[in-house]
């Protein structure tokens, strides 16, 4: 007996949904604990494998412990993960190839890899979008900022960090919280972490 085409499509659709659900359940999650509270990030190794691998390397090494959210702009984003409470840059691994063309947009609550003007200059620093920031997405004529995860718990903490009073502090010329927001830890709390193999740590460039 032949199966009805519509029934076959329904079965395939159900299988696809089941695979998607399993994939989401296996997605690695990390808890970011700060002096203003904690939030949870779900990573997306399918869309941003290199960036997630890099990020989890730093997580496993304890790199983010006792670093700052050193750049905070209300209604835009909060950035951290590479500056110590003494306002010095921490050593980092090699730069990460830019994965901004992965189809993920810089929408509120998404997490992206911070970088300098050069497109492939991201390392340990990350940011959380507080608003919808389409200007950070890629265009045919320019690279964007790679999204590699999203906040799934504690967005209220991100909002609280984003409205802290800011100004010039130490080596930072602007947008630094006047009362330091310290990342106490970033720990893996679930999911299937990506295998980690990256080059040896390199010293940061001189200067702030």
At residue 102 the predicted structure's pLDDT band, cuts being 50, 70 and 90, is: very high
- Yes or no: say if 103 and 76 are a contact pair by the CB < 8 Å rule: no
What's residue 25's pLDDT?
65
Question: Which residue ranges make up each domain of the chain?
Answer: 28-190
pLDDT tens for each residue of 85-99: 999 999 999 999 999
Q: Which two tokens stand for residue 79?
A: 């950035």
What's residue 111's pLDDT?
98
Higher pLDDT, 119 or 18: 119
* Least confident stretch, 8-17, 36-45, 99-108, 114-123: 8-17
CATH of domain 28-190: 2.40.100.10
Q: Does 34 score more than 90 pLDDT?
A: yes
Could you tell me the pTM of the whole model? 0.83
Q: Which of 179, 175, 158 is nearest to 167 (CA)?
A: 175
Q: Does 205 score more than 80 pLDDT?
A: no
The C-alpha R_g of the chain, in whole angstroms, comes to 19
* Dihedral pair phi/psi, residue 159, rounded to 5°: -60, -40
What's residue 177's pLDDT?
98
Q: Which of 190, 208, 157 is nearest to 33 (CA)?
A: 157
Would you say how long the chain is, in residues? 208
What's residue 191's pLDDT?
81
pLDDT tens for each residue of 144-197: 999 999 999 999 999 999 999 999 999 999 999 999 999 999 999 988 764 544
Q: Does 44 score more than 70 pLDDT?
A: yes
What's residue 206's pLDDT?
40
- Yes or no: say if 196 and 53 are a contact pair by the CB < 8 Å rule: yes
| CA–CA distance, 72 with 43 (Å, rounded to integer) | 22
Neighbours of 81 (CB within 10 A): 25
Q: Does 129 score more than 50 pLDDT?
A: yes
Mean pLDDT of the residues in the chain: 87
Neighbours of 11 (CB within 10 A): 11
Identify the H or E element spanning 5. Answer: helix 5-26
| CA–CA distance, 90 with 129 (Å, rounded to integer) | 23
């Amino acid at each position: 007996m032949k199966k009805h085409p519509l029934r076959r499509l329904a079965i395939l659709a159900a299988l696809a949904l089941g695979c998607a659900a399993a994939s989401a359940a296996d997605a690695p999650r990390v808890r970011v604990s700060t002096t203003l509270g904690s939030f949870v990030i779900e990573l997306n190794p399918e869309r941003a494998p290199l960036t997630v691998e890099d990020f989890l390397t730093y997580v496993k090494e304890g790199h983010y412990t006792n670093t700052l959210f050193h750049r905070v702009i209300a209604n835009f984003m909060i950035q951290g993960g590479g500056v110590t409470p003494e306002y010095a840059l921490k050593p980092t691994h090699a730069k990460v190839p830019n994965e901004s063309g992965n189809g993920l947009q810089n929408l509120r609550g998404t997490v992206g890899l911070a970088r300098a003007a050069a497109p492939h200059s991201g390392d340990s620093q990350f940011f959380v979008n507080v608003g919808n920031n389409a200007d950070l997405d890629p265009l045919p004529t320019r690279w964007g900022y790679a999204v590699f995860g999203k906040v799934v718990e504690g967005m209220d903490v991100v909002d609280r960090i984003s409205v802290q009073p800011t100004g010039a502090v130490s080596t930072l010329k602007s947008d630094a919280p006047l009362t330091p927001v310290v990342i106490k830890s970033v720990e893996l709390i679930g999911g299937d972490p990506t295998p980690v193999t990256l080059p040896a740590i390199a010293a940061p460039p001189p200067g702030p």
